[in-house]
Every structure is written in C-alpha cells, then in structure tokens.
Structure 1
Amino acid sequence: MRNLITDVKGLRVGQAHDAAAATGVTVALFDRPTIASVAVLGGAPGTRDTALLAPEMTVEHVDAIVLSGGSAWGLAAADGVMSWLAGQGRGFPVGQLRIPIVPQAILFDLANGGAKPWARGGEEAPYRRLGTIAASQAADDFALGTAGAGYGATTVNLKGGIGSASARAATGQIVGALVAVNAVGTATIGDGPHFWAAPFEREGEFGGLGWPGAITPGDTALRFKGGTGQNTTIALVATDAVLTKAQARRMAMAAHDGLARALRPAHAPLDGDVVFAAATGHSGAPSDAYALTELCATAADVLSRAIARGVHAATALPFAGARPAWRDRHGE
C-alpha cells in the first residue's frame, strides 16, 4: 500500500504544472472505462461534463477525471486529456468514432502571485498543454503538496496542495482519495499545527500530533479567504469494488462528510466543493447496504486524511505575500 489513490487497482495519476503561473493539472487516468458519479455541494462550482454522471444519464463510464487550477480557463485541461486519450483509441463509441469521456472540476488560483497574462486576454492559457502532459505521465506514484492541481492552491492561513490517502475497508476492498485543497477556511485548528482531520490519521502521516490539549472559541472562529469564486476543494474518491452509478453517487455524497470533518468551514456559498466517485470493478460488489455503507464511510475517512496530507506536504510559493507552508510554521 502506497497510501495513495493508486492503491485502487485500475487507475493511475499524472500531474503537470506551470511554475511561473503557479497553477497546474492533475489527471486520474483509468485503465479501462470506469463507472463514476459526482456530488456537488459547494455554492460556486466550476465543472465540465458532470451532468452525464447522474445515475439516470445514458453514458455509464468515464476514461479519466481531471482536477485543475485556473478557474474557468482551467476547463481546457480536459481538451488535452481527451486528445491524448483519442490517440490511444479510448472513448465512448459513436459509429466509427470514439469520444473520450473526461469530466472535470476546477479551483480558483488566479490571485496567488503567479503570472497569468491570459486572464487579461491576448494569450492562450496553458491548461490544454498541461492536461496532455499530465495524462501522458500517469503513473502509480505521484507527488503530494505543491504539485498538479494543488500547485497554486491555498487555504486561509497556509499553503494548500494535492493530497491522497487510501485504506482497506472492512469489506476487504480498497478505497482511495485524491484531492486539491484550496479551501476558503482552515485545515488546521486555529493557528496551531493540529489538523481537524486528526482523529482519522494513520501512522503519523501528517505529523502524528493528534488533538491539541484544548480547543478554544478562537480556534473555532470562522475565517475566510478571498471572496466569491476564490475557493474550492475538489476531489476524487475511488474503490476497486463493483458499483452502479447510483452507488457511486452515494459514495461521492458520503465522502463530502470527510471534507467537512477536515475543513472549517466547508460547502459554503463561496466554495465550489466537488467530489467525484469511481469504481474500477476489480473486486466484488458490496454484498448488501451495510457493505456499501462500509465503503462510503471509508471514503469519507480517506478524504479527510488526504486533505490534511495535502496541506502537510505543501511548500510555499516563491512570491511576495505567499501563504506559508505548514512546515514553515511548525517544522517537521
């Protein structure tokens, strides 16, 4: 077990970034067409092709899921992924053609200090290119923290980033999470080093500090970063189980509980919080509703852990006024 979403058999992750622009793309690439769905609970989402993931919609499978920076400009990343997949002969068959199915969610990282001239017009944004690179580099191992879609991500007080975690559910099946943490609020308790996700930590994966001795009213006071449209946590949870689209939708909804446990606040009008769920089908189907509940609860737990790991692993951007990394403030 790598403690990454790639512990789920049937998917790999690729990432690419533009350091000068302080933005990037993360791609979860499936080895074969894969059942997926989505739950959108943030008030300001930016998405592409999420409507087809509803259980009643015709298309059953996806080829990849994309997480990207760049706000609406970042939606072009899926174009690059589609182009790469088409070159591999992948996609939904329509006559003699194949159309790669690549749903996507984006986060707002335009105000993090990076140079983004396309936001003022006259230049092409880099996301199509980054999407192609990320897809072509998909592998079992990948970087956490300041990487991919999390390259330019922040929270209200610390640098955000890409996080991932995995676990074996009580059913014996693997569940993993991949997340780009760009939250309106905090992943840590007050200004201390402790994470809201502490109860779910395994083997000191984000410092092993547990809870603080006390949580004060100041620690729970709400703080907000930026304004409308500047905050989003976007994620994918995946399992090697066999699920229907309706069951995948249920797992995506349940995984949002993990997001809410790891970030304060979550699902706000200022957020675009989106969680995709995918089932690669390399192990058996859940035997009953209780077994499905085990998978859903595990998805929530691994998403909480992945969020904390993304912040814990991040490094600060080299710009004036950039938010510090967790390690800058709290050491190793």
Structure 2
Amino acid sequence: MTNTTLTAIRGFRVGHWTNAVGVTGCTVILCPDAGAVASASFLGPSPATREGVLLSPEKKVERIHALLLTGGSAFGLAAASGVVRVLEERGVGHETPFARVPIVPAAVVYDLGVGDPLARPGDKEGEAAARSASADPVPRGRVGAGTGTTAGKYLGGPGAVPGGLGSVMLERHGVSVGALAVVNPIGDVLDERGGVLAGPGTGPGAVSFTPGDVENTTLIAVVTEHTLSKAECRRLADAAQAALGRVIHPSHTYWDGDAAFMLSSCALPPADPLLLGALVQEAVCAAVRDAVRRANSLGG
C-alpha cells in the first residue's frame, strides 16, 4: 500500500489511542530520535497547550521529540506525561547535566460535550498512543484526537457534523511535506471548489449564536525533512493558519482556538521557500478535507 499520509515523511511516526465509547482520544507524532526543529502559531482566545511558549523562535530549545494532539480539553494535557515516560525509557530527550529531558508540546480540542465528559485521555492513554506509533499509513477518520471532533457548529448542536482526523503527504519537484489535521471548527469545511463539504452551509446569522454554547479548535501539524530554522518554522506555521481560512468558513472566530505546528527533521538541504510554503498550505487544506470525508464516509 502506498503511504500518502504524514508518516511517508521519513523519520516521523504516528500513534493513536481511541475511546469509541467515551468519544475521545489522543494522537502522538514521534519525531526522529534527534528531535525536530519546531515552532507553532496559536490563534483564537482560548488555546490550551503545554510547552507552547517554548516554541517561540526566541526561546532557547530548538528541537522537540514528540507532539501530542488530544481530546479532553485541558484535562487531556495530562496525556503528555505518558509520552514523556516512553521517550525517557528509550533514551530520547534534550541533553541536560543530569538527564535527557523529552520535549513534548501538546494541544487540545474540546470534545467534552460529544461523549462522556469524564472520558479524558490521561497519562496511560498518552503512553499507549506513543507505544503504538509507527511509520505505517496514518489511520484516519473518527480516531485518536479526532474521535469526538465536530464541524459546522454555528447553528448549535443540530447542525454539527463529525470533524475527524485527516492526513496527507504532498510532493512536488523533489520537495515534500506531510500534514495531519484534527478538525473541530465552528465553521463549515469547504471542498476544492468552495462548496460546503461539511456543516450546515447557511453561514452564521440564521439563528442567534450564544457565546459559550460550544468550544472549537482545529489542530494542524506539518512536517518536512527539509532543513528549516526555528524562525522559518514559525513563518510556515503562520502560513498553515492562513490556509485554514481557505478551507474553513468562517475561520479563526472568537470561539476558535486554532493551533498549527511546523516540524523539520533537517535531514535534507533547504528547499525553495516559495514551493515549500505553497505545499504547506495545500497540505493543510487537503488534510482538513480528508478528515471530514473519512469521518463522514464521503466520497472524493
């Protein structure tokens, strides 16, 4: 089977833990043992993250060793501890005088109202996801962090549809990127022609939207082997956020806390920055559409 998901990018592995009954889960992206240069872009008023500040370009640590995307709102951040434990056992981490310290940023989606609000990924669930990580094609749809996600929520609960988790790999002229999306926006997801792929399609205003009715966040991870600095990763993370505006409408609302991560293993020479930026944005759009198509068993 040809791998057309994020794990087609050499050195990166993905694992899920899924609770189909409680309707939540978590997803771990493991980097090469030497880590990956990484940065991130956070938009929206309520991002829930771990190690988010560390990813700012001016901060000292450049490489991370894994990335956790999880359901369970802020409770789900506890799953990162299990990922750290697995990496420590394997001798993977940032070198310090007394221990190798695994650097594992994390970001969450709010899925507490979809299934059992007490079914939250924690330490053991994060460990299970990390131990299951492989370079096999990424399982997609209602799995991992995408298990309890929904899209198109501006009309309230009745208009929401499953959001899911999607992943793609794009390659052009010898330059390649992989993307993974956990899709939980308030807005509609649009297809390649701008039509509504998932959501009510009426646009906001058909009913009065009450702040606090729903919580929303779309999480994006993009990886590449092409060498990037931390500042360049930040600029590409910003580009990934901009791509959400092409595929989600409305995007980046007051009720969305979107997070985009850019990771580089630096295993290959730098790529044409214009081509790389274009591929990042195309991959983000494709991963978001892949998520909702698989979560809703849609063609295309």
Q: TM-score, normalised by structure 1?
A: 0.80
Between the two proteins, the alignment pairs up a number of residues equal to 284
Within the alignment, does 1:304 sit opposite 2:285 as a pair?
yes
Which residue in 2 is equivalent to 1:204? none
> Structure 1's 45 and 66: CA in aligned 2 closer, same or farther, altered over 3 A?
same
**Superimposed CA distance per residue, residues 157-182 of structure 1 (whole angstroms, 9 cap, x where no aligned partner):** 31111111111144x22111111001
2:204 corresponds, among 215, 219, 222, to 222
Mapped partners of 2:55, 2:221: distance in 1: 13
Shift of 1:225: 9.6
Mapped partners of 2:29, 2:210: distance in 1: 28
Mapped partners of 2:85, 2:102: distance in 1: 8
Which residue in 1 is equivalent to 2:192? 198
Mapped partners of 2:203, 2:100: distance in 1: 51
Within the alignment, does 1:130 sit opposite 2:119 as a pair?
no
Which residue in 2 is equivalent to 1:160? 163
2:63 corresponds, among 45, 61, 64, to 61
Which residue in 1 is equivalent to 2:25? 24
Which residue in 1 is equivalent to 2:260? 275
| Higher alpha-carbon deviation: 257-266 or 240-249 | 257-266
Fraction of identical pairs, as percent: 36
Which residue in 1 is equivalent to 2:90? 88
Answer yes or no: is the 8 Å Cα contact 2:112–2:118 preserved in 1: no
Residue identity opposite 1:150 in structure 2: G
**Superimposed CA distance per residue, residues 157-210 of structure 1 (whole angstroms, 9 cap, x where no aligned partner):** 31111111111144x2211111100111111xxxxxxxx2415xxxxxxxxxxx
Residue identity opposite 1:151 in structure 2: T
Structure 2 runs not aligned, ≥5 long: 153-159
- RMSD, aligned α-carbons: 2.1
Answer yes or no: is the 8 Å Cα contact 2:28–2:68 preserved in 1: yes
Mapped partners of 1:229, 1:221: distance in 2: 16
Residue identity opposite 2:15 in structure 1: G
Residue identity opposite 1:261 in structure 2: R
**Superimposed CA distance per residue, residues 120-175 of structure 1 (whole angstroms, 9 cap, x where no aligned partner):** xxxxx4421111011001112221110000011111231111111111144x2211
Residue identity opposite 2:212 in structure 1: G
Answer yes or no: is the 8 Å Cα contact 2:188–2:201 preserved in 1: no
Mapped partners of 1:226, 1:68: distance in 2: 23
SS of the residue corresponding to residue 247 of structure 1 reads helix
Mapped partners of 1:167, 1:174: distance in 2: 6
Mapped partners of 1:253, 1:136: distance in 2: 31
**Mapping of residues 1-332 of structure 1, within 5 Å:** 2-32=3-33, 33-112=35-114, 114-117=115-118, 125-140=120-135, 141-156=137-152, 157-170=160-173, 172-187=174-189, 196-199=190-193, 219=201, 221-222=203-204, 227=212, 230-286=215-271, 291-314=272-295, 325=296, 327=298
Answer yes or no: is the 8 Å Cα contact 1:155–1:225 preserved in 2: no
Answer yes or no: is the 8 Å Cα contact 1:229–1:271 preserved in 2: no
Q: Please identify the structure whose Cα radius of gyration is greater.
A: 1
> Structure 1's 225 and 23: CA in aligned 2 closer, same or farther, altered over 3 A?
farther
**Superimposed CA distance per residue, residues 87-110 of structure 1 (whole angstroms, 9 cap, x where no aligned partner):** 111111111211100001100000
Shift of 1:219: 4.3
Answer yes or no: is the 8 Å Cα contact 2:176–2:279 preserved in 1: no
Q: Which has the higher strand share?
A: 2
Mapped partners of 2:60, 2:143: distance in 1: 34
Which residue in 2 is equivalent to 1:122? none
Mapped partners of 1:264, 1:15: distance in 2: 28
Answer yes or no: is the 8 Å Cα contact 1:255–1:297 preserved in 2: no
**Superimposed CA distance per residue, residues 56-76 of structure 1 (whole angstroms, 9 cap, x where no aligned partner):** 111010000110000000111
Mapped partners of 1:299, 1:309: distance in 2: 15
Residue identity opposite 1:47 in structure 2: T
**Superimposed CA distance per residue, residues 215-241 of structure 1 (whole angstroms, 9 cap, x where no aligned partner):** xxx946227798366100011011110
